[in-house]
Amino acid sequence: MGVGGEKFQLGTVGALGLSVVSSVSIVICNKALMSSLGFTFATTLTSWHLLVTFCSLHVALWMKFFEHKAFDSRTVMGFGVLNGISIGLLNLSLGFNSVGFYQMTKLAIIPCTVILETLFFRKKFSRTIQISLSVLLLGVGVATVTDLQLNAVGSILSLLAIITTCIAQIMTNTIQKKFKVSSTQLLYQSCPYQSLTLFLIGPFLDGFLTNQNVFAFNYTSNVVFFIVLSCLISVSVNFSTFLVIGKTSPVTYQVLGHLKTCLVLTFGYVLLHDPFSWRNILGILIAVVGMVLYSYFCSIETQPKNTEVSSQQAKEGDSAPLISDSLSKVENGGDDDEPLKVPMWSSKYSKA
């Protein structure tokens, strides 16, 4: 395997690791904020997360840690607004449905993404990948899904949440490829639209779901501390989300999301002594088997592509020498073999 392939793998592993650590950390922080301190305004909090992320990236741009690259403003605006709407719909889905049905909604994102990519992007998923994803979904379902209470409004909201989330995550990957922008550049330009969308709908949505006013809440020093901490962690969460989807695929990001769910459940049982049953343990074990199988089959299927890209780079070595800070995006199996520059800003974003 060539230098480009090795850098691609190292960069991908780093992005996956950063995503897991930052996401689990923000879940723990938000759990303390919402469960212990009573700050339950999730949508408004997410708008603050995105605002802090944008400000952090603006400072990084000012310090020249990455280069600003302007592209189609209508695409960026549509993408940002869609991302904001998908977060709001997910929160509404949780408000109108039982926790079990909400977990089923999250599980449905993977097969919906697979269907959309197959229909509109003609991406092929091998039978082994399909089987490993099925094992993963079965395990997460056993571990997390409890009651399934259906209602018409909740079901419609869940369906809209699934569709908008899938489209937004697919767009994250395709926009980076089409316009040849890094995850940092895309995040920097879309953050203001996402933040503004959620800031406009957040207070009304949170007030409807909680019967409380976010602006009338008693902001004690502990509440302010955890809000600030949550916003700081969100910079890493938001960045790593774009980074993972850009380097891998929306499906891989969803698989990673279920790994985070299993880690949070395990953390809650071991350190916080949350209620745990044999069903949770069995489900997590099944899910881990599915994740291992998915990772193994993905690595097997991408090896021939890495070898082909390395051979092509070696042939073109005399006329076009390798750029040391570029990566070949080969995991998605697309025809776009253009190298993607690694963002210089290394302090590597879903949503909380």
| DSSP secondary structure letters along 266-295 | HHHHHTS-----HHHHHHHHHHHHHHHHHH
How far, rounded to the nearest angstrom, does the alpha carbon of residue 303 sit from its chain's CA centroid?
A: 25
Beta bridge partners of 326: 341
185-206 confidence digits (pLDDT tens) = 999 999 999 999 999 999 999 9
Mean pLDDT, rounded, of the chain: 78
- The average pLDDT across 110-118 equals 89
- Write the CA distances from 65 to 19, 181, 342, integer angstroms: 20, 15, 11
Asked whether 19 and 243 are in contact (CB, 8 A), the reply is yes
Run of H or E including 340: strand 339-341
What whole-number percentage of the chain has pLDDT above 90? 26
For residue 351, the model assigns a pLDDT of 41
For residue 106, the model assigns a pLDDT of 83
290-329 confidence digits (pLDDT tens) = 888 888 887 787 665 555 545 554 444 443 333 233 333 3
Contacts 24+ apart (CB under 8 A), 337-344: 337/309, 337/312, 338/177, 338/180, 339/4, 340/176, 340/180, 340/182, 340/246, 341/182, 342/7, 342/11, 342/182, 343/65, 343/66, 343/182, 343/183, 343/184, 343/185, 344/65, 344/66
Q: Which two tokens stand for residue 273?
A: 């002594």
Instruction: With cut-offs at 50, 70 and 90, classify the pLDDT of residue 213.
Output: very high
Q: Hunting for tokens 């909740």 — which residue is that? A: 154
Residue 296 DSSP SS3: helix
In the predicted structure, residue 158 carries a pLDDT above the cut 50 = yes
How many Cα atoms within 13 Å fall on the side-chain side of residue 333?
16
In the predicted structure, residue 331 carries a pLDDT above the cut 50 = no
- The average pLDDT across 171-183 equals 89
38-57 confidence digits (pLDDT tens) = 898 999 999 999 999 999 99
Instruction: With cut-offs at 50, 70 and 90, classify the pLDDT of residue 345.
Output: very low
For residue 339, the model assigns a pLDDT of 36
Residue extents of the structural domains in the chain: 8-38+224-246, 43-97+151-216, 123-150+248-301
User: For residue 173, which amino acid is it?
Assistant: N
- The average pLDDT across 153-177 equals 90
In the predicted structure, residue 332 carries a pLDDT above the cut 80 = no
In the predicted structure, residue 347 carries a pLDDT above the cut 90 = no
In the predicted structure, residue 349 carries a pLDDT above the cut 60 = no
Asked whether 49 and 234 are in contact (CB, 8 A), the reply is yes
Q: Which two tokens stand for residue 73?
A: 């403003």
Specify the range with the lowest mean pLDDT, choosing from 58-72, 120-134, 274-288: 274-288
Asked whether 188 and 54 are in contact (CB, 8 A), the reply is yes
Q: Which two tokens stand for residue 148?
A: 């399934």
Q: Hunting for tokens 């343990």 — which residue is that? A: 281
For residue 350, the model assigns a pLDDT of 39
**pTM of this prediction?**
0.71
Instruction: With cut-offs at 50, 70 and 90, classify the pLDDT of residue 219.
Output: very high
- The average pLDDT across 116-126 equals 86
Q: Which two tokens stand for residue 332?
A: 């998605």
Run of H or E including 326: strand 326-328
Beta bridge partners of 327: 340
- The average pLDDT across 7-16 equals 65
- The average pLDDT across 100-120 equals 85
For residue 346, the model assigns a pLDDT of 33
Q: What is the DSSP letter of 197?
A: H
Distance CA 162, CA 41 (A): 22
- 3-state helix, strand and coil shares in percent for the chain, rounded to the nearest 5: 75, 0, 25
